[in-house]
Structure 1
Amino acid sequence: MSASSTVSSAAPATTAPRRRWGKTVLWLLLGLVVAAVVAVVFFLDPWLRRALERQVTKASNGRYELSIKELETSLWKRSATVRGVQLRTRAGAPADTAALPELRLDLGELRVSGVGLLAVLRRQVVPVDSVVADSAQVRLARLPATSGSGKPLYSRLPLGLPGLQLGFVALRRVRVRYGTLHRAKGQIEQATLQARDLLLSAAGAADTSRLGYARQVQVELGQVVARLPGHLMQLQRGTFSSESQQVLVGGLRLVPLQPVSAQRSPAARIDLDVSDARLLGLRAAALARGTLRADSLVLLGGRLAVTLPTVAPPPHKLLAAYLPRILVGGVRVAGAGVRVAGTKWAPAVHDIRLTGSGLHLSPQTYSAPGYLYYARAWTLQTGRAYAALNAPYYQLACEALRADTRRGLLALRMVRVAPTMTVAELARRKGHQTAHVTVRLPELNVQALDFAALLRQGNLQARQLELKGARIVTMSDGRFPVNPKNSIATPDAVGRLPFRVDVRQVRIQDAGIRMSYRSPRSAQAGVMGIQQFTGTLRNFSNDPRHMSAARPLTGEATGVLQKQSRARMVLRANLLDPNGRHTVQGSFTSTPLAALNPMVVPTRGIRFRSGQIQRIRFEMQLGRAQAQGTMWAEYRDLKLELLNKKNKPGVLHRIETSLANGIFLRDNNPRQPGQDLKTGQMASRRELRYSVFSLWRQGLVSGLLNSAGVPKPLAKKLSESE
């Protein structure tokens, strides 16, 4: 056999073992892959579940304990699903973990999909398509004693990752409870949160267009209960959407733990019920910078009852800890009602319709020019409103109110002032005689009113104040002592007011006045009426820039006395004169003297049997000391009759009547046609406990008596008698 044949026959023998070895390696590699796949499928999930449980305990330094019932991963789909998650605060946790809150979490399911595994290996920002948590219950027993490290959330990610970019995040059917097992401080029965394009990184934190790292956020809440200082807050439903830029709230209720009362408390007590609230055009990203900026705030169907605190801080101070600045383009309130306790007025207002523009709630606009209650302008319309006046003696009410701060307009309709008790009970409660006043005013209009001066300093500054169709009834009971204090119904009292009054013109149209007085001598009250009273006052002011002797208050008025005589009066007064000096001029047209009997018979025991006034004219100067002046009274056929306490002429009174008519009284003035008219001297001492209107009456009485022939000293004494 040759050598060549030997070599050729040996070659196949060496090639076959190599092929068998290659197949063995291939099968071995394939077996390893299969084993790896089997390990991933059957052992990765349990290992990862245990690793997560251990990591939570380690990261929290033993504070928390995590339990996962089921975990499924899919490397092909880059997803993971976790079910039956329980997170508990471990009993006896180390003291250095007190910065972590005490909580309990039960999560039904958590699905994570589209995880960028390559970015994890490269330590880059990891993209994640979606994270969805469903059916979660959270109980937070108490907040941590400290705020923790204060590091931003993105700097505490696992594996040292620089960030996460989540396309979609959702928390569905979440129930939250804050507080102990037996006493909840806050509770949310149902909540849903959705966020899109959430960039949890340094770049996301620096992006001012994002809200909580997210480009879009939507929150839905249902059945929320929270304990606030002194109050319990309840919310039926609430929705927030950064995409539509709105917050919708329904069924908001704030209940004080102690009821609203008339006595002030250290902190405010607020009872609030709002059926529908809407915050539109909200710039949600600005909330992270402590600014609430929105286009409009709408409140519908609100009801508010509040007891004011002993010391009421401005609203911007109360909100400074939460929102240092609030900017809202417009505010609208409709169908609201407000009741305020803790003030002497105790107002209650129904059917409020309020709009405001340019609301800027901050310390800078609290008292800044151009702002009123933090807004550029307010308009207000209300239904019926009530308030106490000189409580508990009077009640003030009006059927409608309109106000426009930009135009300076204020209008009230059907204003009523009514006593809460009878004239005798009012005098008995006060311990002295007092006016029992009832007012019915169909219209009150104010033009060019300075609302800022009124609401901030209590000053009344306006161009015109107009009262239309007023009906005023006053009653007094002379059986009680006279008020020991000086009357404030006098011109100089206006100058001593602690606030500024400056009204360019006061107009009174078609008023009616009925005055009733019961004297000690008779149970029958004396009555006097003035109809069709119309008047104008100019420069009604206690501002030294406008009021002086050279620029006094001036005014004129007309009316019909006892439906018989038309009267006219002209007034001139320096309201800053400490002596209250002023002048009154006036006249009365023809009237029978018997028109005065309804007043003088029961109060003075005098009846005019006859007498006809042709015309009366007078000029009077008055002050804090006396009234003096001159009266020109033209009359004829004057006859008096003196009466007893039963308002009947007794025997002695008949004699006195004959003497008075025969000796003292002048029957006619002038006595004969063509003779000179006898003037009457008006002189009467001022009693400061009585109003200036009593002094006017005293002067008229003294002048009329002196014109009728009563000697001046006696006329003065009779005019001054109570």
Structure 2
Amino acid sequence: MSAPAAPPAPSRRHWGRWLLLLVLGLALVVGVGLTFFLDPWLRRTLERQVTERSRGRYQLRVARLHTSLWRDNAELSGIRLRTVATSPDSARLPPVRFALAQLRVSGIGLLALVRRREVPIDSIALDSLSLHLAAWPRGGSKRPLHEQLPVPGIRVGALAMRHARVAYGPEQQPAVQLGEATVVAQDIWLSAAGAADSARTGYAAAVAAQLRGAALRVPGHELKLVRAAFSSRRQRLQLDSVLVHPHQAISNTRTPAVRLSLALPRLVLAGLDAAGLSRNRFRADTLRLQAPHLALTLPAQSPPTLVQMLQPYLRECRLNRLEVSEGQVRVAGLELAPAIADVQLSATKIQVLPRRALATDVLYARAWQVSTGRATGTLDAPYYHVSWQQLRANSQTKLLQVAGALVVPTRSVEALARGKGHQAAYVTVRLPEIRFSGLDFAAAANRQQLRATLLRVRTPRVSTRSDGRFPINPSYSVATPEGLGRLPFGLAIERLRVEGATINMSYRSPRDPQPGIMSIDRLGVELRNLSNDPRRMSAATPLTGEATGWVQNRCRARLALRANLLDAQGRHTLTGEFGPTPLTILNAMLVPTRGLALRSGQVQRIRFQLQLDRTAARGTLWGEYSDLKLQLLNQQEKPGLLHRLGTSVVNGIFLRDHNPRRPGQPVQPGRVLSAREPRFSVFSLWRQGLVSGMLNSAGVPTGLAKKLSEAK
């Protein structure tokens, strides 16, 4: 029988208990040490490191730092960073004032940090941040942020920054001020893999931000923003109440840089590829501008193109759709100085960079639609005011329609002539409707060419008044066929049609304060091949056209025109005829301006053929009329004794009272010959040719008829 086992030795039990107590004691000492000594040590170390690394430039103060190694958390409060002195690195380290009420870091992967691996962090929260940066740091590292970390990477589950305020620039007048901002980011991956992830915005999987109150100062302007909101998940950016004010008022005086004033209640950018912005790529679905009010003064020199402005910052710029509603625009620095209300605009497929535009693109877009309300401007400033009530344009349907257009002088007839220093046409134009069909918007926008299938003008009313007491305009007229050929822009309109026009003309001669008047009513005009394009315009394919109307609303007239607009000599032909009418309808113009009256006369028909150029009008006129009698008048428009005698001589010797003299005889043609005055328009030459032909047809010798037709 074996002996019983011996009990454990008391000494072993004794050392086991002491070892356990020792471990517990050490743990207690370490715990107490970490609790009471680690946090102060970390706080002092942080403050010292900032001072040493900035060489005394910055001072950091942390009011409280608390860590919990068991929970992997850290909390700092009362953080202050300020500039306290100059240092050798002062040029690189600008003055800074930084304050942060609270910083919380949760779920720190301490083991990964110790092992120098990618460090996970559950969340980081910053509350009540205030930063003022006097200037941008110089000479910083150009390497990406993840390459400057002491570990391969950091991955933060969530980052939240609330109640942040930022200012940049001089203390008294900062260039940038951000009121109160809130930023929330999800899954921030600071690593090479995170930087390469094209779905991330920067390093974050999602970013959302809100901002209340912002101000930005740039050369010549100040920008203010009431509110902004951004979400990368929703792909949406919204700006509310954007205001831009220039330091100099908007005026017609140009300066080297553009000046603009903008009030924009709301901007919404939807479908924004936020991740692409960090890679210099802008892509978005829709940009909406609500009720923008824009006024600008153009710069003295043409600014760079949009492509040139964006190229240093973007590799790609695409916008699927642009929408503007209830806009107002005023442009100064142009003679026209347009001001346009109620602008509604939409554009599709906008692509600025890379610039692989189609020939049909209009201002970087595949298609535009524009409508406006009332618009105003000036012509030949400051003498004429121009306006329209409505405009509609669609680049896809190639239609442009203007309704209620009006051109009116801003001064009286005398004041207009006095201001110009010579006779000037005092013109009022009312155009109820102007309509372009087949308009090539791309040619107009990209190549400064006006090309259309049809230009239709409905029921225009034109009134002209002039004062012959002033000198003649010393400049050559541009209202000529060769003038159209020399227009500074391309012109190619297949058909121009004027319907139901009315033209009223008034002329105040030096001899009589009562003006002479003439009207053309129910005027219809159609021109074909109105072009200065050498591929369209030649002697073989000239401009052709017809016009019909009623002189003084009693005599029907018809004209036909052929002209080569590229002929430097201005050669063109005019044919036509006048229907039956009493000649007394001309007295309203003849009596006040020429001092003679038609006592009687009845036209059966007048036909004419004119050849005109830069020197003269030539041709033939056949006038069939009867019972022609003239009356010479004195200054009071009455027939005095000498005027009665002269009238008898003229009627008895010079004038042919019937043409033909007897029934069955041929009509005696009149020779058309009148020299052209280059200071007058081509319409004056047409009138001169008809007057010389009519006078010669009535028996006035050719030389005298020529001289009378050229009388000013």
Establish whether TM, by shorter chain, passes 0.5: yes
Distance in 2 (CA, whole Å) between partners of 1:588 and 1:170 is: 88
Q: Does 1:305 align with 2:295?
A: yes
Distance in 1 (CA, whole Å) between partners of 2:23 and 2:488 is: 102
Moved more, 438-447 or 687-696: 687-696
Displacement of 1:149: 2.1
Distance in 2 (CA, whole Å) between partners of 1:545 and 1:267 is: 40
Displacement of 1:83: 1.1
Q: Does 1:350 align with 2:341?
A: yes
Hey, what does 2:442 align to over in structure 1? 452
Matched AA of 2:108: V
Hey, what does 1:481 align to over in structure 2? 471
Distance 1:242 1:229, change over 3 A: same
Of 78, 81, 88, the match for 2:72:
78
C-alpha deviations, 1:110-168, integer Å up to 9, x for none?
Answer: 11111122222222111111101011111112212x231223222333xx322111000
Hey, what does 1:64 align to over in structure 2? 58
Hey, what does 2:322 align to over in structure 1? 331
Hey, what does 1:665 align to over in structure 2? 655
Hey, what does 2:27 align to over in structure 1? 33
Contact kept in structure 2, 1:518 and 1:524, CA below 8 Å: yes
Question: Counterpart of 1:184 in 2: which secondary structure?
Answer: coil
Matched AA of 1:329: N
Alignment of 1:160-171 (within 5 A): 160-171=150-161
Of 312, 316, 319, the match for 1:321:
312
Distance 1:277 1:665, change over 3 A: same
Contact kept in structure 2, 1:398 and 1:414, CA below 8 Å: yes
Hey, what does 1:4 align to over in structure 2? none
Question: Counterpart of 1:424 in 2: which secondary structure?
Answer: helix
C-alpha deviations, 1:80-109, integer Å up to 9, x for none?
Answer: 1111111122313x3136433431211111
Distance in 1 (CA, whole Å) between partners of 2:262 and 2:649 is: 75
Matched AA of 1:54: R
Hey, what does 1:185 align to over in structure 2? 175
Hey, what does 1:154 align to over in structure 2? 146
Of 109, 115, 122, the match for 2:108:
115
Q: Does 1:406 align with 2:400?
A: no
Moved more, 709-718 or 588-597: 709-718
Hey, what does 1:435 align to over in structure 2? 425
Question: Counterpart of 2:107 in 1: which secondary structure?
Answer: strand
Structure 1 gaps of 5+ residues are: 1-6
Runs of 4+ residues deviating >6 angstroms: none
Distance in 1 (CA, whole Å) between partners of 2:90 and 2:141 is: 11
Distance in 2 (CA, whole Å) between partners of 1:352 and 1:88 is: 50
Q: Does 1:380 align with 2:376?
A: no
Contact kept in structure 1, 2:317 and 2:354, CA below 8 Å: no
Hey, what does 1:219 align to over in structure 2? 209
Distance in 2 (CA, whole Å) between partners of 1:156 and 1:579 is: 77
Hey, what does 1:53 align to over in structure 2? 47
Contact kept in structure 2, 1:642 and 1:656, CA below 8 Å: yes
Distance in 1 (CA, whole Å) between partners of 2:156 and 2:454 is: 65
Distance in 2 (CA, whole Å) between partners of 1:369 and 1:548 is: 27
Contact kept in structure 2, 1:174 and 1:190, CA below 8 Å: yes
C-alpha deviations, 1:456-512, integer Å up to 9, x for none?
Answer: 443222221111111001111111111222222221222233332221111111100
Question: Counterpart of 2:92 in 1: which secondary structure?
Answer: coil
Q: Does 1:600 align with 2:593?
A: no
Displacement of 1:15: 4.0
Contact kept in structure 1, 2:58 and 2:85, CA below 8 Å: no
Hey, what does 2:491 align to over in structure 1? 501
Matched AA of 1:408: K
Alignment of 1:245-264 (within 5 A): 245-264=235-254
Distance 1:412 1:192, change over 3 A: same
Alignment of 1:287-306 (within 5 A): 287-306=277-296
Contact kept in structure 1, 2:235 and 2:271, CA below 8 Å: yes
Hey, what does 1:3 align to over in structure 2? none
Hey, what does 1:125 align to over in structure 2? 118
Contact kept in structure 2, 1:489 and 1:691, CA below 8 Å: yes
Question: Counterpart of 2:365 in 1: which secondary structure?
Answer: coil
Hey, what does 2:188 align to over in structure 1? 198
Q: Figure out how many residues of one structure are paired with residues of the other and give that number.
A: 708
TM-score between both structures, scaled by the size of structure 2:
0.96
Distance in 2 (CA, whole Å) between partners of 1:329 and 1:294 is: 7
Displacement of 1:395: 1.9
Distance in 1 (CA, whole Å) between partners of 2:176 and 2:506 is: 63
Structure 2 gaps of 5+ residues are: none
Matched AA of 1:169: L
Displacement of 1:568: 0.7
C-alpha deviations, 1:212-261, integer Å up to 9, x for none?
Answer: 21000111111100111221111111111100001100111111112222
Question: Counterpart of 1:425 in 2: which secondary structure?
Answer: helix
Matched AA of 1:126: V
Distance in 1 (CA, whole Å) between partners of 2:640 and 2:36 is: 128
Hey, what does 1:232 align to over in structure 2? 222
Question: Counterpart of 1:289 in 2: which secondary structure?
Answer: coil
Distance in 2 (CA, whole Å) between partners of 1:62 and 1:24 is: 51
Contact kept in structure 1, 2:413 and 2:426, CA below 8 Å: yes
Hey, what does 2:563 align to over in structure 1? 573
Displacement of 1:194: 0.6
Alignment of 1:699-710 (within 5 A): 699-710=689-700
Hey, what does 2:637 align to over in structure 1? 647
Displacement of 1:412: 0.9
